[in-house]
Structure 1
Amino acid sequence: MTIPRLLMLCLLALPVTQAPAHSTLSDITSGGEEKVTLPVVPESKLLIHATRGIDVSSGDGPVQSLPLAVFLTRQTPQEVVEWYREALPEYEVLTDKSGQQVQILRETGPDTTVDSPDTYRIPNIRIRPTDARMATHMKGAKTMLQVYYSPAYGKTESDGDS
């Protein structure tokens, strides 16, 4: 089982904040403590919002992630990557060996790879094509985004801003 599929299975099993039926993209990207603090591709559909993050298994034990919001969009993965290159030019872009998953990170180290356990604590966006199961949540969806963001109510250790 690949890490992204395993992550999605874990996400589906977790108690998370469900977006109310009336929730819009602007509802979660402006104001409030549960606000997503990274830009989100326009016309995306929110699927999951884990405002307290998730526990991710790693070789060194569980890692608590930053808050996470999962979205679907009708844009292609490449279009989404290009949108984020413009929106977050200071972020690093990594691609996995298959070329199917891209991760856009606030910071990277020499050993950082896509889905490294340490990346769950760094603001980042994971981009990959949707599979048939995920695409049922949005007609025409081509891309899934996992946005790991610093909470609006406080800075994390990876935030260098003062």
Structure 2
Amino acid sequence: MPGADRAHQHSAVVSVLSRAAKLMEGSEVTLLLENLNSRVNHIGTYLDATREGLDIVREVRSVHLRLLLDAYHALVMGEDLASEIGEDIDLVAHVQVADAPGRHEPGTGVLDWEAQLRILRNLGYTGYWGMEYLPQSDTITSLMMVEQIAARVENTQGHMG
């Protein structure tokens, strides 16, 4: 609804996702809620904060709803992943990454992906990492860059999923 305040939008999202999660009961389906950045790619979007996304997941209180953490969006918004997520890492079902600026493969921009992946591992994230970027080079070369970053994290912490 145009012009709706944040509290109304928040309430509407919780209501719709609560109903959707109820429909998933008895299944193995998990709905994923993703916050987007409102600074570069999705100006004017409502859900642009990781913390609010986690709060919505917590309010819905269903095993069928989790957060899809697009770390690119969170970092573009200037978020500190450790403080935003904290002990709610169990509410994160999947993590996507891309570098900034340009949303290219990690290692091509200003974000320290080795440090960010390490933060998420230290919080307890053990899932997979989704690559959602526009490669600056051919796909194999770009994936090798990501693999090198992941290997440095793995060598200091154990296996990356």
Given the two structures, how large is their TM-score scaled by the length of structure 1?
0.24
Larger relative strand fraction: 1
Structure number with greater Rg is 2
User: Higher RCO, 1 or 2 (CA under 8 Å, sep at least 6)?
Assistant: 1
Larger relative helix fraction: 2
